[in-house]
Amino acid sequence: MKTAGQILKEARSGKFLTVEQLSSITRIDQKYIEAIERDQYHLLPSETVAKGFIRNIAVRLDQNPNDIVAIFRRDFRHPKLSGLQKINHPKKKLSLRYLPPHFLAISLSVLVFVGYLAYQFRAVIKPPVLEVVRPASKSVLTSPFEVEGVSDPSIKISIGDEIFTKTDTSGHFIIRMSHPVGETELKVEAVNRFGRTAEQIIPITVISR
């Protein structure tokens, strides 16, 4: 059973592209492409960003991005199904044999509460992830065209002042839009419910409508 990294590496080799050339085309750092091809997912920033990288690479290599992302999700969350080594470092098990049941219940409740607070605090201070998969910077396009990318789940996405949508539960979004002929910049912005924003500027040229 091939992994997402093996499939993408074979597709890259089949097009006689080096990792450096693929990095230049996709604007993804070489170290992340190498980590994906080696199935070293613990070296990637996060699962959400990794899926954005993989979609971008798959499109450039004429692979079905949805299929590759589905394989990656299996490899990332269930590495044993693909024969991969477990991503997390092994941890010593805590013996719970002699702990009273009420202590375990209270401890679990406290951990859940602290985890929830930490998640909320992180959302307040940290801007959302935003990775535009296509169009690539300086692309030449015909209108209408699609803007695709990944962010955090259920984040509001805007392009300029007119296009608004929300990412799906996996953080993926696609916006179909029209634009006048000429050179322009797409300002793609992600806004979470706390008002924290992330943006990406994509210069493009529209040649016809």
Domain boundaries, the chain: 4-82, 130-208
CATH code of the domain occupying 130-208: 2.60.40.10
Instruction: Kindly report, residue by residue over 90-125, the tens digit of the pLDDT.
Output: 454 555 555 566 666 777 777 877 776 666 565 566
Q: Alpha-carbon distance 141 to 203, whole Å?
A: 11
Instruction: Kindly report, residue by residue over 61-91, the tens digit of the pLDDT.
Output: 999 999 899 888 887 776 655 555 444 444 5
- Give the pairing of strands 197-208 and 139-142: parallel
Cβ atoms of residues 151 and 169 within 8 Å: no
Second CATH level (architecture) for the domain 4-82: Orthogonal Bundle (1.10)
Cβ atoms of residues 131 and 49 within 8 Å: yes
Global pTM? 0.46
Cβ atoms of residues 207 and 182 within 8 Å: no
